[in-house]
Amino acid sequence: MTRRLALALATCCAAALTGAGAAAATNECRGFQVCVPVAGPWVLAPGPLETQWQLSCPQRYIVGGLDAELTSRALDLVFRATLGSPVNPGISTSSAAVFLGRLAVGRDPAASFRPHIGCIPASGGGERVPTVQRVFPPGKPTVVRASQVAARAGTTRRVVRTCKAGERLVAASDAIGFFAAAPPTRKLAAAVAVREQREQGRVTLVVHAGRAIAGTRTVVQLDLTCAGGS
């Protein structure tokens, strides 16, 4: 590895892990000679409704491996992949991974997962070519537009988000994440309340944060599923 590449990887790692805390031993980079590990926050998944969180690689990298830490064995966690062959980085994955988690049994206000991705240099993916007339291969009719809102202790924030011009809003979801070495306690989990409202293609998010989150970097990620773009 050249000195320039080593310096670039060190810079990417430092940027990606800022505020994430010390991660446990995870395997998102296993098997790769060049890999940048990126750790997400602790994401609340307190019940059977699916919680979605998108985690992105640094520029010019794609997702090569995934892992996660869970606070409960009852948490069911998967990620959204793209159909294609072979199952491979750049074909099954892109520059970001969307994790989908839910509590399969019971309800726990503080149940959470911390997603991890291993990012490798981008090398491009294969093209899918239809082999039968009027039959289309799996593609990407929708795209997830993710944005994050910082929660500040003792405040209420209101933000409005939309899809890009020419796109149509299909669905929206929000998730609460805590950047810390340890999972959130029930007191911390209860300190953030989110209200989401959809109207005429716009999503309004109201985030109320209690005093208990002081000293913990807390964000709410809003994911818009948009269709009709180029």
Domain span at 186: 142-227
Could you tell me if residue 9 is inside a domain?
no
* Count of helices and strands (H, E) across the chain: 2, 13
pLDDT of the residue at 137: 56
The verdict on 111 and 164 lying in the same domain is: no
Classify 23 as helix, strand or coil.
coil
Could you tell me if residue 5 is inside a domain?
no
Q: Determine the Cα–Cα distance for residues 28 and 177; give it in Å rounded to an integer.
A: 20
From 87, 121, 155, the end of a domain falls on 121
Instruction: Give the list of residues 6+ apart from residue 109 with CB closer than 8 angstroms, or none.
Output: 44, 46, 186, 189, 190
In order along its 230 residues, the chain shows pLDDT tens digits of 444 434 344 444 444 443 334 445 899 999 999 999 999 999 999 999 999 999 999 999 999 999 999 999 999 999 998 888 888 898 889 999 999 999 998 899 999 999 999 999 997 544 343 344 456 555 678 889 999 999 999 999 999 999 999 999 999 999 999 999 999 999 999 999 999 999 989 999 999 999 999 999 999 999 999 998 65
Burial class of residue 86 (count of CB atoms within 10 Å of its CB; 0-12, 13-18, 19+) = exposed
Could you tell me if residue 48 is inside a domain?
yes
Could you tell me if residue 11 is inside a domain?
no
Could you tell me if residue 112 is inside a domain?
yes
Instruction: Give the list of residues 6+ apart from residue 156 with CB closer than 8 angstroms, or none.
Output: 206, 207, 208, 209
The verdict on 109 and 186 lying in the same domain is: no
The verdict on 69 and 146 lying in the same domain is: no
Could you tell me if residue 193 is inside a domain?
yes
From 63, 91, 121, the end of a domain falls on 121
Residue pointed to by tokens 């892992």: 67
The verdict on 101 and 161 lying in the same domain is: no
What's the structural domain count of the chain?
2
Show the tokens assigned to 88: 């491979």
Instruction: Give the list of residues 6+ apart from residue 71 with CB closer than 8 angstroms, or none.
Output: 42, 108, 110, 111, 112, 113, 183
pLDDT of the residue at 229: 65
Contact 3, 35 (CB under 8 A): no
The verdict on 96 and 163 lying in the same domain is: no
From 60, 88, 121, the end of a domain falls on 121
Most distant CA pair in the chain, distance: 60
The verdict on 108 and 185 lying in the same domain is: no
Could you tell me if residue 27 is inside a domain?
no
pLDDT of the residue at 25: 83
Could you tell me if residue 7 is inside a domain?
no
Q: Determine the Cα–Cα distance for residues 114 and 153; give it in Å rounded to an integer.
A: 22
The verdict on 87 and 155 lying in the same domain is: no
The verdict on 43 and 111 lying in the same domain is: yes
pLDDT of the residue at 138: 56
